[in-house]
Structure 1
Amino acid sequence: MISDLPPLNAVRAFAAAARYQSFSRAAEELHVSHSAVSRHIKLLEEHLGVLLFERRTRQSLLTPAGQTFYEHISVALTQIANAATALTRGASLRKVIINVRPSFAVRWLIPRLPSFMALYPDIQPEVVTSTLPPDQSREKFDVVIRRGDAGWSSNVQPQILLEDDMMLVAAPSLLQTVPLNSAQDVARHTLLAGKTRAMDWKNWAEHADIAMLRQQPILQFDHMHLVLQAAVDGLGLALCPASLLGKDLATGRLICPLPSLRLPLTRYYYGVARESAAETRIFIDWMLSLAHEDTAGVS
């Protein structure tokens, strides 16, 4: 019954502290003091009659009772947030929240969004970027897109979006200066790499049946869209998923000197939130049609 509810501000503070296993980070998220979070959780523990956290010097760990309580209330809080969002949507422009990794947003989704907005001017796409595994209890979304179907929470069912493979690319000016006619010629170049795809060059070399030089110069960047910009600027060779190349090959900004050496990659998958907006299906159908065009266009 409603009269049996614990203090809701205390529940909110507990949920934040449980997510981070830290009272300090919970305080930052809620814009309150550390002591305020501590007081809320103590009040909640007194109300429930159980210990929710094991306090340590630098960390606060959930007790078994705290873990069980968190699993239940996180779902309830998400439902409350979704209900509020649904009311907000009803009173304003219809919105679809799309959760993607940064490079996929920059290189695949955002360049295509103008066509969606032209087709459906009454639907507002909202793009948020994240590298976390899909989980509605942690992040809000209508549609989530990730490479691979491992690590998804049970409340989101992954479905195939896009096939993909890895290609070797470079700026034409770079290859005019230092030609690349075979896989062995890679040893003459600087390699460009992304931190999120640290094993790409090793895997590609094994696929090409060549040995990489231990002292070969490598430039590393945080995200794949930065790697590609460095490649366009002629700083070195890049390995890039075909899905993220955009119009770089068509416009000649980049070329693929060894087109037969493609390394198959894990597919992209999409998932739909259980209580997603009705407009979500429209967005998904549009997205799937583009993915089909991409696949059909790969030679």
Structure 2
Amino acid sequence: MEEKEISLNAVRAFVQVARDNSVTRASKTLGITQSSVSRHIAVLEEYFGEKLIERRGRQSQLTDFGRLFADAVAESLHTILYTAKRMRRNDRAEANRLVVRTSLSTFAYTLLIPNLREFSKEMGGVTVDVISSLSAPTSIDNFDVLLTRDLTLSDLDDHWEFYDEQLVCVGAPDCVAGRGLEALRTTPVLTVTSRPDILPTWLQAMDMKMSDILSGARYDHHFLALPAVTTGQTLLVAPDIVVAGLVRQGLLEVIPGSRTPSGMRYRAYAVDRSHNPDLARAFCRWLTRLCRKMTEEEKANG
């Protein structure tokens, strides 16, 4: 009788469940249905004749046998998947392509993406894919450069600090013209829930309290708040680098005396596992030059 072979897809599904402690989260990470993940687990449990996980509410806890198996195969599985991806991506079609992952969605929308044409031209027509995610990257994620403010990679990855975050208060010109900081007492200030640190940090630097301002509507991200502040009678405290383009276009105006550092720094990581490390480093250097130029121009313009 032929011995039944173990399924690599089933092993991958189990390892992801072990990492996430949840069938639901594992299914989202793998891009398959929860029922498919459950079937994979069932196949492995039938193969071993042992339970691998025990479900407790929404959590999936490993059994002792399951933990032993996960510890034994997780690293080897990562090596197999990474090696396969690297070999597949080293073909001619991918030789002039870069994958940039960022947790800075508004920065990507307002500054990075509009300037990518210049980088592509400088590098002889390179294609840059941009993906956004707020989650911490894993060892098998497929990207070459990480742009982030609060996520970190290992010390082995080359990194550049490309922007020292400066905060400004802005509003539509007809809303703030000639009013100064007193506008905050009568004009609603929008809140960005993905950056709850910004407003308290800025108010402290301005020697003000939340009670000194009029609270306005809430938005998840700055790129959602920007259309509201350009078209309404509201104010917004935001990184100057993400509103600079709208200020230059005359759609927003910076309240004089409202600029202050937040203490946050944006970093670009050229990851060690990149299929094109030289191109990844070139991108990080180009982005650093771009942001330095933008920052100097903003300072020169007051």
Further displaced range: 112-121 or 260-269 = 260-269
Structure 1 segment 121-132 matched on structure 2, within 5 A: 121-132=124-135
Shift of the alpha carbon at 1:33? 5.8
2:179 equivalent in structure 1: 180
Quick one: distance in 1 between partners of 2:136 and 2:34? 30
- Residues 153 and 269, structure 2, Cα contact 8 Å, conserved in 1: no
In the superposition, the TM-score normalised over structure 1's length comes to: 0.82
RMSD value, Cα: 3.1
1:111 equivalent in structure 2: 114
1:8 equivalent in structure 2: 8
1:263 aligns with 2:261: yes
Further displaced range: 191-200 or 277-286 = 277-286
Structure 1 segment 200-279 matched on structure 2, within 5 A: 200-213=198-211, 216-259=214-257, 261-278=259-276, 279=279
2:53 equivalent in structure 1: 53
Quick one: distance in 1 between partners of 2:13 and 2:21? 12
Further displaced range: 80-89 or 5-14 = 80-89
Structure 1 segment 60-139 matched on structure 2, within 5 A: 60-63=60-63, 66=66, 70=70, 73-86=73-86, 87-93=88-94, 94-101=96-103, 102-137=105-140, 139=141
Further displaced range: 252-261 or 211-220 = 211-220
- Residues 147 and 266, structure 2, Cα contact 8 Å, conserved in 1: yes
- Residues 97 and 128, structure 2, Cα contact 8 Å, conserved in 1: yes
Amino acid at match of 2:92: A
Residue-by-residue CA offset, 1:226-262 (whole Å, 9 max, x unaligned): 1222111134111111221241222222111123542
Quick one: distance in 2 between partners of 1:283 and 1:71? 37
Quick one: distance in 2 between partners of 1:269 and 1:124? 21
- Residues 110 and 245, structure 2, Cα contact 8 Å, conserved in 1: no
Structure 1 gaps of 5+ residues are none
Structure 2 gaps of 5+ residues are none
1:288 equivalent in structure 2: 288
Shift of the alpha carbon at 1:32? 4.8
How many residue pairs match? The answer is: 291
Amino acid at match of 2:224: L
Distance 1:95 1:58, change over 3 A: same
Amino acid at match of 2:113: I
Identity %: 27
Structure 1 segment 138-157 matched on structure 2, within 5 A: 139-148=141-150, 152=153, 156=157
In the superposition, the TM-score normalised over structure 2's length comes to: 0.82
Shift of the alpha carbon at 1:14? 0.7
Residue-by-residue CA offset, 1:169-205 (whole Å, 9 max, x unaligned): 11101124xx522x34311111112111123222222
